[in-house]
Structure 1
Amino acid sequence: MAFSALSRPIMKAAKPNLLLCFDAFGTLFSPKGPVAQQYAEVARQCDFTGFSDKELQSRLLEAIKDEREQNPNYGKATGLGATQWWTNVIHKTFTPLLRNNQALPPTLVPKLIHRFSSSEGYEAQRDLVPAIRALRERISQQGVERLVIGVITNSDDRVPDILSSLGLNVSPLRYGTPFDASALREKQFDIDFHCMSYDVGVEKPDRRIFNAADIMLSHIIRARYKETLTESEMERWQKVYIGDEVAKDVVGAAEAGWNPVLLDVDGNSTEITSLEDTPQQTLEDLFAEHASVRVGSIRNLVSWLTGSEWEKR
């Protein structure tokens, strides 16, 4: 969809700094095909046959439900860890499908673990990488002094690896994980930090996972600029969150004091104002008028924020 007001520049932001965070699954990337279908495909590549896709899907859903009950938060709560958690899910999915004293193919688990930790199993939102980089290059022209981009997601710890495999330059900074502050000063990243429910211990819409992003922002400001982010300085930051689910992303972000943007690729949420149809204005003015807005693509979001169209390189 074309913008009707892109030729008009955005007014200089009242808040000169922007903390822009994204959901991961369904927003920055999505599975290349139904997960159960991909499981079946990999199994057959490993010469494991004799099951239907419908049967496998049922077993997979049961396995995930069972593992969540036994080892909450992808195994973090019981010290199991995400890799072993998914290994258990795979075993619980396929073991009931074995026939005639078969054994699980030894390559099945590592192939599936790798697939769903990389671009082999996921595809990026259209124009994701050039859009993020165009935002980095152009946002200062709209009066934004400092831009920090993060990920806040209900997920285990695979997300940074997935985003890296999709071509983004990802910072090592994760909530609850030690990091090398010098790396943040010496290098520009596409994604500055991650707040994953696996690390934070709560899931959206719980406001504590959004509050964790404030802590990450403080770490980054201290590392990059050797400044302490006081409460008054925090007031100079506009906090915007983009996700694809109303209940978890829009409602959760709003209740945590963030400005929510719904990524609505299919255009189904017509009750929410479309950013593509919104005249250019400051973010503060936009969200003073609308509790939330929706946008059809990451590209359109960046075009609105920067006030101009851009070409992929």
Structure 2
Amino acid sequence: MSCRQHFLNHVRHVTTAAKHPGGRTLLLTFDAFSTLFHPRQPIAEQYTSTAHSFGLSPSVVVPDKLQAAFKDAYKAQSKRWPNYGRQDVLKGRYGGPREWWGDVIRGSFTRLIKGDDTGDQVELPEGMVERLLDRFAGRDGYALYEDVIPFFERLKRLKLDAGVGIFDRIVVGVISNSDDRVPAVLKSLGLTVGDVRADQERSSMDLPGFEERSRMDEDAKVLSSALYSSSETIDPVNDIDMVITSYEAGEEKPHRLIFDVAKRQAQRMVASMHAQPESTSSDEWICVHVGDDYKKDYRGAIDAGWDSFFLAREPLGDDIQPAKKIDTLVELIPKLEGYNE
């Protein structure tokens, strides 16, 4: 059976099934960087090659020295402007992620060329900072891990079977300690991504950032309503239904707030399809987060009351012993099917 025919059969099923807001919902979220995608080449090498293309000396700008300078600049920037300066952005005193990363870039090259960041920053060639900002907003800078596409193909089949399989609904999200470039990166790498974002204190649409999202036109809204207003699933066409970044949510993992915001947004998505309150006594939510960072992803999710799987992209140290570990995303499928037991 083709994917299209499967989808049409699914729509027929959910539109004739019993209509009720309750049921069993899986909220499945992933970290982004080093879980779904990775730098296409080491970041220092990409910075170096870009600098050389703008005329900076290859004898001065070398990857190992730039790597050390970048690490120091990033650490200093994170301390001075936590979470991309979000609190000061809300007060109108800072420009957000674009300014934040621009400062990191300039600080990295200042440390490399001058030996420190005291005094004035070095003047970089016109357009170089913007080139690097754009590079790391898409496929020029990043690549998917090999297991990501096969995994989402299998996960999509689970989404299409929602309502007749293990779960009544499946909501798929990304929870990332990052800025709003994450959706653009995921889309550029071939994944389909929904428009739901965090909405904490101030609409994410109003926070200054990288992404310029266009809202669905009226025809798209009508089609979406016709297909899914009575459905018990989130749009099965999307690989990822929502992206929750720390910049938009207000706190970074492992803080519980970012997980709470993700669940709240998922509940709103489900409730909007049934014109119901955000949760009912008949709801059963199974919340699962997957990531490669033991403290921020694995422990953060557990401490927020979620289930969690540690994705071992790199060899583990002896001091890290997660109870639930997978080596590839595809291994997660039978784990999810195990929730039926």
- The reply to whether TM is greater than 0.5 is yes
- Correspondence for 1:45: 53
Note the 1:69-148 alignment, pairs <5 A: 69-79=79-89, 80-97=95-112, 103-138=123-158, 140=161, 142-148=165-171
Residue 183 of structure 2, aligned match among 160, 180, 197: 160
Deviation at 1:95, TM superposition (A): 3.4
Is 2:300 the counterpart of 1:298? Answer: no
Instruction: Give, as a single letter, the amino acid of the residue that structure 1 aligns with 2:151.
Output: A
**Structure having greater relative contact order (Cα 8 Å, sep ≥ 6):** 1
Note the 1:175-186 alignment, pairs <5 A: 175-176=198-199, 177=204, 182=221, 185=225
Instruction: Give, as a single letter, the amino acid of the residue that structure 1 aligns with 2:135.
Output: R
TM-score, with normalisation over the residues of structure 1?
A: 0.78
Is 2:193 the counterpart of 1:170? Answer: yes
User: How many Å separate the matches in 1 of 2:179 and 2:314?
Assistant: 27
- Correspondence for 1:276: none
Aligned-pair identity in percent equals 34
Instruction: Give, as a single letter, the amino acid of the residue that structure 1 aligns with 2:275.
Output: K
- Correspondence for 1:59: 69
Q: 1:146 to 1:247 in 2, by over 3 A?
A: same
User: How many Å separate the matches in 1 of 2:259 and 2:240?
Assistant: 16
Deviation at 1:267, TM superposition (A): 5.8
- Correspondence for 1:200: 249
Instruction: Give, as a single letter, the amino acid of the residue that structure 1 aligns with 2:138.
Output: S
Deviation at 1:77, TM superposition (A): 2.4
For the 8 Å contact 1:264–1:294, the answer to whether it is kept is: yes
Note the 1:16-55 alignment, pairs <5 A: 16-49=24-57, 50-51=59-60, 52-55=62-65
- Correspondence for 2:304: 256
Deviation at 1:238, TM superposition (A): 0.9
Deviation at 1:97, TM superposition (A): 4.6
- Give CA deviations for 1:270-294 in whole Å, capped at 9, x if unaligned: 8757xxxxxxxxxxxxxxxxxx411
- Give CA deviations for 1:134-160 in whole Å, capped at 9, x if unaligned: 212135364211100011111111111
Aligned residues: 272
User: How many Å separate the matches in 2 of 1:74 and 1:150?
Assistant: 21
Deviation at 1:67, TM superposition (A): 2.0
Q: 1:252 to 1:98 in 2, by over 3 A?
A: closer
Q: 1:184 to 1:233 in 2, by over 3 A?
A: farther
For the 8 Å contact 1:264–1:296, the answer to whether it is kept is: yes
Note the 1:255-274 alignment, pairs <5 A: 255-266=303-314, 268=316
For the 8 Å contact 2:136–2:142, the answer to whether it is kept is: yes
| SS of residue in 1 equivalent to 2:65 | helix
Deviation at 1:266, TM superposition (A): 4.6
User: How many Å separate the matches in 1 of 2:175 and 2:183?
Assistant: 11
User: How many Å separate the matches in 1 of 2:190 and 2:224?
Assistant: 19
For the 8 Å contact 1:184–1:223, the answer to whether it is kept is: no
TM-score, with normalisation over the residues of structure 2?
A: 0.72
| SS of residue in 2 equivalent to 1:76 | helix
- Correspondence for 2:271: 222
User: How many Å separate the matches in 1 of 2:315 and 2:109?
Assistant: 38
Unaligned runs of 5+ in 1: 1-14, 274-291, 308-313
User: How many Å separate the matches in 2 of 1:303 and 1:31?
Assistant: 29
RMSD: 2.7
